[in-house]
Structure 1
Amino acid sequence: MRLLAVYALFLSYSFGSLDTTLDLRAVQSDGLASCPSAVEVNSTIINANGNEIQSRTFICLDDSLSTHAATTSQPRKSFNSPSELLRRSAAECKTPAPECQCGLQFGCSCSQLTPSAPEGGDCRTLIDALQVISQAGGPTFTVPSSGVLLLEFQTCAIEWINLRNAPLEYCWDELGTLVSLTDEECLIPAVSTGAACTPADGLWVLQVFRVGT
């Protein structure tokens, strides 16, 4: 994955109310759509080298995510994790497995998640921003029990869905590698409009898809 030189970094935070139910019409998210009870619990704007990245965390108030994995259309192309990822240790994690999910074998597929793909360059900007985020906030992130992390830049969105009834920890650099892989295999060659990845233990789903008009 290409490295991005870090020129500037500014963080600002705003928090959503636990009592506010998510308006699913505003987000084209297959994972969130599978949980009508989802609420937004955190919203952060990250300014990475002049690009505003929106990071939002949602939790599912029922067991929808733990009993129903996000569904996609029939994949056009499937591919597995590169061998170098399989050799990566979980040394970056603060917690042991299964909460730590770094370094697991995974499989991805190119899928028609939305009618059109993200516009050119938006996903690459989001991928490059992940390195900035890791340098500012540490090498890993934690998604709460039955929670969803949604990262957006213009028309590109990354959705990391925790299907477990307990928190999961994942590595920012590995997330960047997965999204970069799906971008190169699925979006850039216009094989499909989106992509989805799942690990060998089936505890989470990663999706890349279009948001906005």
Structure 2
Amino acid sequence: MALSREQMAQRVAQELQDGFYVNLGIGIPTLVANYAPEGIEVMLQSENGLLGMGPFPTEAQLDPDMINAGKQTVTAATGASIFSSAESFAMIRGGHVDLTVLGAFEVDVAGNIASYMIPGKLVKGMGGAMDLVAGADNIIVLMTHASKDGESKLLPQCTLPLTGAGCIKRVVTDLAYLEIADGKFWLRERAPGVSVEEIVRLTAGELVVPDEVPEMTFELS
């Protein structure tokens, strides 16, 4: 079976390391805040000016003034800092974020990402995504493997306007964990119960499949 949104976030949370400053983009990436591994200290950064973002609040914790970049209510962890969006983007543009997790509409074999514009749809702007992909070396794209109409989002070449060029090296989808290198997607893990054949069918860009592709190993919830 394909992973749920929560399970996708759980898989990406495995990539968090002690001491990391991590930016979570809007959409599925915000769920990663709920699954930070125990025993490590990670500071989650929201581009609207919060460093030290905690999990989503319970009803008792709810504060309508405490929101992330996607306008969702959040909590602040012990030691959190609140500052202006100008200072937040100085942190991002200065390369002080260790890991960025972003959603996307398309990713291609060259590591290009398109994440902000759908033809025919009203778009308010690209948000901070262009700054994030330019200011971080360590980026994970977290997205569904295919669009709602079943078309692959892992392409030979992006068809939508680019957010960033040649900047993506890792992708986690509801079907697989892939790396991008040498102009190809490399299949590293598959979601439990998902066949290699299904991943191949839904990957439009060139895909390298090793002889053995292990299933993801984490506690699914």
TM-score (norm 2): 0.27
Name whichever structure is richer in helix by fraction: 1
Name whichever structure is richer in strand by fraction: 1
* The structure with more radius of gyration: 2
Higher RCO structure, 1 or 2 (CA under 8 Å, sep 6+): 1
TM-score (norm 1): 0.27
